[in-house]
Structure 1
Amino acid sequence: METQPPMGGLTPHLTIIDGRAAEAIDFYGRAFGATVQNRVPGQDGKRLLHAHLTVNNAALMLNDDFPEYRGGNPEGAPAGVTLHLEVDDADTWFERAVAAGAEVAMPIGDQFWGARYGQVRDPFGYRWSIGGPLKK
């Protein structure tokens, strides 16, 4: 097993509905350069119990939805959550995400607060903001 980078701060943990966690891992690799640190299959052999990814030197965890363990509470991408990537070249990251299949939620552009910034929505319903320095 590879040595995993240390986790610190706050680590997002996404629940992917409809048994699409493996698809999400592939998408995050293409869109954001994610690398897999660890994968744990569920006992049923069909769903993913846990995955630990590294995106932009930060940890991201995810799993398939297991309705039988959440007491009837609905799961899925919450509308009020945005995952932010602060990167060196926002345009490159934004274009790569769109090319991988992300939907533009806010076109990338120079913002009044002095950043190059835009937002995409991934195929699993999560919103990602991508920001970086203004182009010179």
Structure 2
Amino acid sequence: MPVLHPVDWSALPPTLTEFWTERHLCTLSSLDKDGAPHAVPVGAVLDLAQQCAWIITDGGSQKAANLRRDARLAVSQVEGARWSTIIGSATVLDDAASVAHACARYAERYRVPRENPTRVALRISVERFLGSSQVLPR
């Protein structure tokens, strides 16, 4: 399994950045209060300019609570034999500028999100990318 570690944002393979631009739903895995995995579907976007990834969610969601307690996470997406996972940590942000930026990025990949006054942005610091050889060539 190819691994890109540490992340050199200036040298990401085009196959990886293209895969994270195509419309695919993702799975966010965090740890619940008992340390058990909590996996939920999400939309995630890679932000090359800020060298991070973003997810938007409700501030009262279980994923937000989990990540406030333990920031470690994995975000995965798959299409056939192509797959990629981001390993990293998240910061839960509720300031208007961060939420607006995350929503704008989300809209570029998916659609304009519905209004949600309790929305937060999950800013993901990427520690490494994992992926199939179609996404992370050897």
Shared fold by TM > 0.5? Answer: no
Larger RCO of the pair (alpha carbons < 8 Å, separation 6+): 2
Instruction: Flag the structure with larger Rg.
Output: 1
TM-score under structure 1 length normalisation: 0.28
TM-score under structure 2 length normalisation: 0.28
